[in-house]
A and B are shown apart, each in its own frame.
Chain A
């Protein structure tokens, strides 16, 4: 087990300008302005929060998992991690993290990948990419906000534990998160966040019990 970087936030929930609870199986799409802080709280523990970020003014410029891990030379995300975009901009920086590490290699579950991973009969079970597609569709109803399947690329899984070994093995392990743990990011540019609060029932990423998370936003100080 790596040494985890625990960093708490000085911001108080009562000072937040925005608060929303996202239930498991739901999507959440929201714009965050440059300088604002966004916090995701794992309310009940061991919940995977599948998250994508975009440059709010150009969705083609979006979070890039490979560029982010290569730039920091480490596959786990935690305090200090700069989230790098495909155009090599810094979208956000993780400024607080009481969980210690987050995954960006495991991707988002889909009905199709559930068939491969678990059983072909699992096709009809709810999955993150269903929520991503629904969230993207709803967001795109307003002109100038087109977001579709091809924009839904490799994501971050906040609070999820996907260790990789020096021998090149990768596994999904029990979460390292507990009730009340949180991760907080500062937007370095105007950013769109797209969350699927993971409904997965077939693996330990949610401790087989998907639960709600809270999203808080603070203005720049």
Chain B
């Protein structure tokens, strides 16, 4: 599934302007796999669930200066949210926006639960080595992130809090965290528009709080598109004054 530059104009009405977006390529990311790509400013990544109860862990770095990266506390406090959805933006530690969530058919993506590790996976699902199980061996998100970071010269000192797309962790009034089962369904999708050249690292291991007893590998469809730059009426920009300032600071970075 690697088709280069299919120029299919996807026309949609936004106010009075017709926006053209072009699919650059599509690919399938299998379950329990890691993927990385430098998502260029002016392009977007759409992640679509192919099966129910999917999870996609994600971390983000400024590809032009890897010391700048996703800061989830800044992201949550600037927007006063403990969930991510359409209109939410992902802030770096430098007050800039790495990516905006321009579309989301699900309504809630988790910024709290973190990622699985080898001990957790072995405890939940048992050990399963590559030697014994080949591609269905039991992998974990932490190792996936660390191996991928190493490809860019980074290591465990460069880890950051991760997002879990397609998962929901609800927090009760007394602070208790509850993983919501069967949150995502096949066909639900989230779209991230790069506001900077962003190193996106994805991992499709199960959510660490998912109580499901069996190890499951759930693939997602990735679509990389060319998209228009956010204009003055952009939804993510105008959703709150903090984001408007975040866009200003991000745009100044490219002046």
Measuring CB to CB, which residues of chain A are less than 8 angstroms from any residue of chain B?
A: 1-3, 59-61, 64-67, 69-70, 73-76, 86-88, 101, 105-108, 110, 112-113, 115-117, 119-120, 129, 149-151, 153-155, 162, 164-166, 168-172
Contact = CB atoms under 8 A, between A and B. Distances in A.
Interface of A is mostly: loop
B248 interface: yes
Contact of B108 (A74, A76, A168): A168
B160 A60 contact: no
Interface string B6-44: 000000000000000000000000000000000000000
Contact of B173 (A112, A155, A162, A166): A166
Interface of B: 67, 71-74, 76-78, 80-83, 91, 93-96, 108, 112-115, 117, 119, 155-162, 170-177, 208-209, 242, 245-246, 248-249
Contacts of A67: 114
A158 to B, nearest CB: 15
Contacts of B209: 70
A91 to B, nearest CB: 15
Contacts of A88: 117, 119
Contacts of B242: 116-117
Contact of A116 (B158, B177, B249): B249
A70 B174 contact: no
B177 A112 contact: no
Contacts of B94: 112
Contacts of A153: 159-161
B253 to A, nearest CB: 11
B250 to A, nearest CB: 10
Contacts of A119: 245
A110 B163 CA distance: 21
A80 to B, nearest CB: 13
Contacts of A112: 93-96, 249
A73 B73 contact: no
B114 A60 contact: no
Contacts of A154: 71-73, 160-161
Given A60-B157, A110-B95, A165 B245 contact: no
Contacts of B249: 112, 115-116, 120
A164 B174 contact: no
A100 B177 CA distance: 18
A70 B80 contact: no
B73 A107 contact: yes
B53 to A, nearest CB: 18
B179 to A, nearest CB: 10
A3 B162 CA distance: 30
Contacts of A169: 80-82
Contacts of A64: 114
| Of B73, B242, B245, most A-chain CB atoms within 10 Å | B73
Contacts of B162: 66
B175 A116 contact: no
Given A59-B157, A66-B162, A112-B93, A165 B173 contact: yes
A1 B174 CA distance: 7
Contacts of A76: 175
23 contacts: A2-B173, A64-B114, A65-B73, A66-B161, A73-B176, A74-B177, A75-B175, A75-B177, A87-B156, A105-B73, A105-B112, A106-B77, A112-B93, A112-B95, A116-B74, A149-B67, A164-B82, A165-B171, A168-B83, A169-B82, A170-B77, A170-B80, A170-B82
